[in-house]
Amino acid sequence: MHSKIEVRSLNKSFESDQGRLVVIEDVSFTVRDGETVAIIGPSGCGKTTLMNMIAGFIRPDAGAIVIDGVPRLKPDPRGILITQHGSVFPWLTVRENLMFGLNGHAPRNKAEIADHYAAIVGLKGFESSYPHELSGGMLKRAELARALVVKPEVLYMDEPFSALDALMSLRVRNELLRILAEERHTVMLITHDVEEAIHVADRILVLSPRPARIQAAFDVPFPHPRRLTSAPAQELRVAILRELGVDHYGG
Amino acid sequence: MNRIRNSLPALGVIAALLAAWWGTIVATQSLIFPTPWGVVTGAIELLADGTLWRHIGASLLRVGTGFALAVCIAVPLGLWMGWVRGAYNTLNPIFQMLRPISPIAWIPIAILWFGVGDASPIYLIFISSVFPMIVQTTVGVHTIDKRYLRAAENFGVSRATLFTQVVIPAVLPQVLVGMRIGLGVAWLVVVAAEMIALRSGLGYMIMDSRNAGNRYDLVIAGMIIIGVIGLSLDSTMRRLERIRWVRWRYAQ
């Protein structure tokens, strides 16, 4: 597998009242094709800024993002960003939302493709519903489906499940894993939830507090479906938490 | 049942006001100011000879025309100003300066430009309702949640799709708010404008009733009718909030 995403010494700082605030400092890593990489870090460390740069919405001060060997300068449908608060258009039905990104298809065909993906994420029967008629979990599925419809090579997920309750988060994660097993997307997942990272990722990068640097990297060698209560998974969890400065046993 | 109970206090206040009015007239034995019953009989008289309908029709037609013109100008202009920074920077200062000028102050100019026909009040309605609608539409574009614009950018859709599927639907609830304000102002203005220049309309009817023999029963009947029509125009606009294109805004 070749490297899909290459992040080369990214730097980003913002002007603030207190002067220059360095948010990202010399972050480099690569993501292989089809790999799921989780980035975990303390809140406010610049995870979202990092994701927005990689997805193409913010320009870095220095460094580059290279995708398939080509520097990325702006967002495009080959990599879809999914965020915590979601961006499913509330004025469009589920079907219309899913059809939104389908350029260059016949109208009839669009609706078919949209309904197909609605069914994949378990929204069959809700194609004509408006987002305000859906629960938080269903809304997340709709957003995921809208991203999948355009067959993106990369999914950028910025704390996608953190607005859901624990049970719903687990359900949608399982859904995501099932879809990933079939479609083999490359995924970058930003989270502050260590268990979520261990649940879905092939590799976990731990960021330091601001300015964010990559502080540690862990492989997650467990086969799917994963049992998060297994001894090795728990050991990994403790190791990551220690990296984040939290001793699991309250020390 | 609940609705009836909720409106009881308001009905009580209205009844108390009517009683106080009636009592005062009886006590003072006023010869000019009518009793509530006098207003009712006056209104019936106007209804019977058909003049009331003619005046209401004339007022509504002027409001309808001026308001429709204003919508046709304000909505595209507001969208353009909201979307294009340069258009906003160029036009907004002018509009902000024109906006606080009372439509009444425009009356002499309206007469100069358009004479004393229907065009004058239509122009006044236009000028008074166009600015609030421009402002609301522009604000609507400026306050579109960035995450939706970002999503549209991410999917790489055409400019036409961006406009028809994101910008316009996102702004529509704000346009509706602007239209509510605009129509309210329009109704306020048509009556004022008709008081000065014309030979028909509710405003004319009020002034004419006073001038032609101190018919204060008809003056008050006219005022009440203006209030009732204004209220029903507003509730019609409010009912538009339920249509599917804007319902999402109120359902959250």
Are A131 and B248 a contacting pair at CB < 8 A?
A: yes
Q: B177 and B227 share a domain?
A: yes
B203, B62 in Cβ contact below 8 A?
no
Which of A31-45, A95-109, B132-146 holds the top average pLDDT?
B132-146
Please state the rounded mean pLDDT for residues B64-71: 96
Q: Of A145, A51, A140, A155, whose CA–CA distance to A96 is shortest?
A: A145
Point out the residue among B153, B157, B252 whose CB comes nearest to the CB of A103.
B157
B193, B203 in Cβ contact below 8 A?
yes
Are B147 and A101 a contacting pair at CB < 8 A?
A: no
Nearest Cα of chain B lies from the Cα of A25 at a distance, in angstroms, of 25
Q: Of A42, A4, A45, whose CA–CA distance to A22 is shortest?
A: A45
Q: B187 and B127 share a domain?
A: yes
Amino acid identity, residue B193? A
| Residue A145, H or E segment | helix A136-149
Closest chain A residue to B158 measured between Cα atoms? A103
The distance in angstroms from the start CA to the end CA of chain B is 27
Q: Given this model, what pLDDT does residue A1 score?
A: 52
A80 forms bridges with which residues in the sheet?
A: A155
HSE-CB for B151 with a 13 A CA cutoff: 27
Is residue A122 included in any domain, yes or no?
Answer: yes
Tokens for A161, please give them.
């499940």
Nearest Cα of chain A lies from the Cα of B82 at a distance, in angstroms, of 19
Point out the residue among B147, B157, B165 whose CB comes nearest to the CB of A92.
B165
Is residue A131 included in any domain, yes or no?
Answer: yes
- Res B92 pLDDT > 50: yes
Nearest Cα of chain A lies from the Cα of B166 at a distance, in angstroms, of 8
Cα-Cα-Cα-Cα dihedral sign, residues A135, A138, A144, A148: negative
| Residue A29, H or E segment | strand A19-32
If you ran DSSP here, which 8-state letter would residue B163 be given?
A: I
Q: B114 and B64 share a domain?
A: yes
Are A101 and B165 a contacting pair at CB < 8 A?
A: no
Q: B38 and B9 share a domain?
A: no
Are A132 and B252 a contacting pair at CB < 8 A?
A: yes
Chain B partners within 8 Å of A75 (Cβ): 150, 153-154, 156
A111, A104 in Cβ contact below 8 A?
no
Please state the rounded mean pLDDT for residues B122-138: 94
Are A91 and B245 a contacting pair at CB < 8 A?
A: yes
Residue B252 CA to residue B245 CA, distance in Å, equals 14
pLDDT in tens, B182-212: 999 999 998 888 887 678 899 999 998 888 8
Is residue A100 included in any domain, yes or no?
Answer: yes
Q: Given this model, what pLDDT does residue B212 score?
A: 83
Q: Of A248, A251, A239, whose CA–CA distance to A40 is shortest?
A: A239
Q: What angle do CA A46, A48, A52 make, to 5 degrees?
A: 120
Q: B7 and B114 share a domain?
A: no
Tokens for A152, please give them.
């993106």
Domain containing A103 equals 79-151
Which of A165-174, B140-149, B152-161 holds the top average pLDDT?
B140-149
Q: B151 and B130 share a domain?
A: yes
- Spatial neighbors of A122 by CB under 8 A, at least 6 apart, are A141, A175
Q: Of A210, A214, A244, whose CA–CA distance to A18 is shortest?
A: A210
Are B248 and A77 a contacting pair at CB < 8 A?
A: no
A80 interfaces chain B, CB cutoff of 8 Å: yes
Q: How many domains does chain A have?
A: 1
Are A100 and B157 a contacting pair at CB < 8 A?
A: yes
Are A89 and B157 a contacting pair at CB < 8 A?
A: no
Are B169 and A131 a contacting pair at CB < 8 A?
A: no
Are B153 and A86 a contacting pair at CB < 8 A?
A: no
Q: Of A161, A168, A19, A172, whose CA–CA distance to A82 is shortest?
A: A161
Q: Given this model, what pLDDT does residue A250 score?
A: 52
- Res B31 pLDDT > 70: yes
- Spatial neighbors of A250 by CB under 8 A, at least 6 apart, are none
Picking from B150, B153, B155, B159 by the largest number of A CB atoms within 10 A of its own CB, the best residue to mutate is B155
pLDDT in tens, B216-233: 888 999 999 999 999 999
Is residue A180 included in any domain, yes or no?
Answer: no
Point out the residue among B147, B158, B252 whose CB comes nearest to the CB of A83.
B147
Q: Of A185, A77, A160, whose CA–CA distance to B150 is shortest?
A: A77
A113 interfaces chain B, CB cutoff of 8 Å: no
Q: Given this model, what pLDDT does residue B230 score?
A: 94
Residue A79, helix vs strand vs coil: strand
Is residue A129 included in any domain, yes or no?
Answer: yes
Asked whether the bond before A225 is cis by omega within 30 degrees of 0, the reply is yes
What ipTM was assigned to the predicted interfaces of this complex? 0.86
Residue B205 CA to residue A61 CA, distance in Å, equals 71
pLDDT in tens, A145-171: 999 999 899 999 999 888 888 888 888
Percent of chain A with pLDDT over 90: 49
- Stated pTM of the model: 0.82
Residue A65 CA to residue A49 CA, distance in Å, equals 13
Is residue A99 included in any domain, yes or no?
Answer: yes
Nearest Cα of chain A lies from the Cα of B139 at a distance, in angstroms, of 18
Chain B partners within 8 Å of A100 (Cβ): 152, 155, 157, 161, 165
Q: B9 and B115 share a domain?
A: no
Q: What angle do CA B237, B238, B239 make, to 5 degrees?
A: 90
Are B156 and A77 a contacting pair at CB < 8 A?
A: yes
Nearest Cα of chain B lies from the Cα of A128 at a distance, in angstroms, of 12
pLDDT in tens, A62-116: 999 999 989 988 998 999 999 888 899 999 999 999 999 887 777 788 889 999 9
Chain B partners within 8 Å of A89 (Cβ): 148, 151, 165-166, 169
What does the DSSP assignment read for B42-66?
HHHHHHHTTHHHHHHHHHHHHHHHH
Q: How many domains does chain B have?
A: 2
Is residue A207 included in any domain, yes or no?
Answer: no
Cα-Cα-Cα-Cα dihedral sign, residues B5, B9, B14, B19: positive
- Res A210 pLDDT > 90: no
Nearest Cα of chain A lies from the Cα of B140 at a distance, in angstroms, of 14
- Spatial neighbors of B119 by CB under 8 A, at least 6 apart, are none
Q: What angle do CA A61, A67, A71 make, to 5 degrees?
A: 45
Neighbour-count burial of B124, counting CB atoms closer than 10 A to its CB (0-12 exposed, 13-18 middle, 19+ buried): buried
Q: Strands A62-67, A3-16: parallel, antiparallel or unpaired by DSSP? A: antiparallel
Q: B4 and B114 share a domain?
A: no
Residue B149 CA to residue B52 CA, distance in Å, equals 51
Q: Of A191, A192, A193, A201, whose CA–CA distance to A224 is shortest?
A: A201
The CATH number of whichever domain residue B54 belongs to comes to 1.10.3720.10
Residue A41 CA to residue A245 CA, distance in Å, equals 10
Torsion angle of the four alpha carbons A78, A82, A83, A88, in this order, in degrees rounded to the nearest 10: 110
| A/B interface, count of CB pairs below 8 Å | 61
The distance in angstroms from the start CA to the end CA of chain A is 41
Domain containing B7 equals 1-30
Q: B59 and B178 share a domain?
A: yes
Q: B55 and B122 share a domain?
A: yes
Q: B19 and B38 share a domain?
A: no
Closest chain A residue to B153 measured between Cα atoms? A75
Amino acid identity, residue A113? I
Q: B57 and B77 share a domain?
A: yes
Are B165 and A132 a contacting pair at CB < 8 A?
A: no
